[in-house]
Structure 1
């Protein structure tokens, strides 16, 4: 299910996590070549992604159970 990004925080290992409108969280790591998200490294980059929709697997799981 698509959910909007409403904020970001760092986890205990200093990896960026998106806060989703549904209340769930999703890691948005920049770990090239697997995940290329250089925007997550700057505050401006993260701010530009507020409101962007991400697939929330936890919401999908809740709907299917």
Structure 2
């Protein structure tokens, strides 16, 4: 599911992470030659990408029923 970038932060390893409108986060590394994202390296580049939509795989998985927390055990005894 496409979600717009609403902000950024750095993780514990000093890599840039995009904050998506859905509440999920996604790394946006500039790691040539595998991943080239020059825009990540400057404040102006990151600002220009605010609102740009990225594919949120966590949202896709949730919609397909994956990544749901396991059913809580013992809930029947609470009723």
Moved over 3 A (4+): none
The structure with the largest strand share of the pair is: 1
Relative to the length of structure 1, the TM-score reads 0.99
**Structure 2: which 5+ runs fail to align?**
66-79
* TM-score using structure 2 length: 0.82
In structure 2, the partner of 1:54 is: 54
C-alpha distance after superposition, 1:2-45 (max 9, x if no partner): 00000000000000000000000000000001100011010000
What is the RMSD computed on CA atoms of the aligned residues? 0.3
Count how many residue pairs are aligned between Structure 1 and Structure 2.
Answer: 65
The structure having more radius of gyration, on CA atoms, is 2
